[in-house]
C-alpha cells in the first residue's frame, strides 16, 4: 500500500499541469512501515527525454541528488519510488513505461491529466510487469 497525503497529491497534480504538454517526473521519498509506504516528499526532476510529450527520462544529476538525499535521510527519507504524468493519457502505464522500468519492488505513480486520475503500481522485475498497488490518499499531514 502506498499512502499519499492530499497535499502531496495536489503538488504532483499542479506540477503535471504546469509541465503540460510535457510529462513531468520525479521521485517519491518517505518511510516504510511494514506493508505501507508513506510518501512524505516529492522530488521533481527535469525531464530530458527526446520526446517529452510522450515519455520521461529523469535527468541523471537529479536522480543522483535524490539517491544521495535518500542515503543520508534516515528512515523518514527513503526512496519509495517515482512518479510521472501523462498529459494526454492513457490513464495506465504505457508500453514505453513498461520497457524502461528497472526499479524492482519500487512504486511508480502515474497522474493521467485528462482523467484527473492518480494510480500506483509496483514494478516486478521477475515477471517484467507492473502490479497494481493500492493507493490511499490521506488527509492527515502526519502520515
Q: Give me the active site residues, please.
A: 23
Please say whether the beta carbons of 101 and 131 come within 8 A. no
Please say whether the beta carbons of 106 and 79 come within 8 A. yes
**Going by DSSP bridges, is the β-strand pair 107-112/78-86 parallel, antiparallel, or unpaired?**
parallel
- What distances in angstroms separate CA 102 from CA 5, 51, 72, 127, one per listed residue? 26, 20, 23, 12
Q: Based on the number of CB atoms within 10 Å of its own CB, is 28 exposed (0-12), middle (13-18) or buried (19 or more)?
A: buried
Amino acid at each position: 500500500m502506498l499512502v499519499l497525503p492530499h497535499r502531496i497529491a495536489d503538488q504532483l497534480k499542479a506540477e503535471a499541469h504546469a509541465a503540460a504538454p510535457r510529462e513531468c517526473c520525479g521521485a517519491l521519498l518517505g518511510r516504510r512501515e511494514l506493508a505501507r509506504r508513506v510518501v512524505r516528499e516529492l522530488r521533481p526532476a527535469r525531464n530530458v527525454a527526446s520526446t517529452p510529450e510522450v515519455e520521461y527520462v529523469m535527468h541523471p544529476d537529479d536522480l543522483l541528488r535524490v539517491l544521495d538525499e535518500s542515503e543520508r535521510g534516515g528512515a523518514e527519507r527513503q526512496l519509495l519510488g517515482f512518479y510521472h504524468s501523462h498529459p494526454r493519457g492513457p490513464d495506465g502505464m504505457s508500453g514505453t513505461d513498461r520497457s524502461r522500468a528497472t526499479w524492482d519492488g519500487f512504486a511508480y505513480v502515474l497522474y493521467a491529466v485528462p482523467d484527473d486520475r492518480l494510480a500506483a503500481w509496483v514494478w516486478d522485475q521477475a515477471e517484467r510487469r507492473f502490479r497494481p498497488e493500492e493507493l490511499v490518499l490521506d488527509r492527515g499531514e502526519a502520515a
